Amino acid sequence: MKYLLFLVISLFLLANSQTSQAQVADTLYLKSTFWGNKFYKGDTIYGINAVLEELAANEQPYNLMLNAKKDNTFAQIFGAAGGLLIGWPLGTAISGGEPKWYLAGIGAGLVAISIPLSINFRKKANQALHDHNALMANSARLNYKPIYHFGFNGTGFKLQVRFN
Please write the tens of the pLDDT for every residue from 63-93: 999 999 999 999 999 999 999 999 999 999 9
For the chain, what is the domain count? 1
Please write the tens of the pLDDT for every residue from 15-39: 665 544 444 457 888 988 888 889 9
The burial of 18, by beta-carbon neighbours within 10 Å (0-12 exposed, 13-18 middle, 19 or more buried), is given as exposed
Span 106-127, mean pLDDT?
96
Beta-strand (E) ranges in 25-116? 28-33, 36-41, 44-46
pLDDT of residue 19: 45
Q: How far apart are CA 49 and CA 40, in angstroms?
A: 13
pLDDT of residue 15: 63
Query: In this structure, which amino acid lies at residue 128?
Result: A
Q: How far apart are CA 79 and CA 113, in angstroms?
A: 8
Residue 42 forms part of a structural domain: yes
- Domain containing residue 152: 25-163
Number of residues written out for the chain: 164
Residue 143 forms part of a structural domain: yes
Residue 110 forms part of a structural domain: yes
Residue 15 forms part of a structural domain: no
pLDDT of residue 137: 78
Q: List, in order, residues 6 or more apart from 137 with CB less than 8 Å away.
A: 22, 24, 27
**Model pTM?**
0.67
Q: How far apart are CA 46 and CA 39, in angstroms?
A: 5
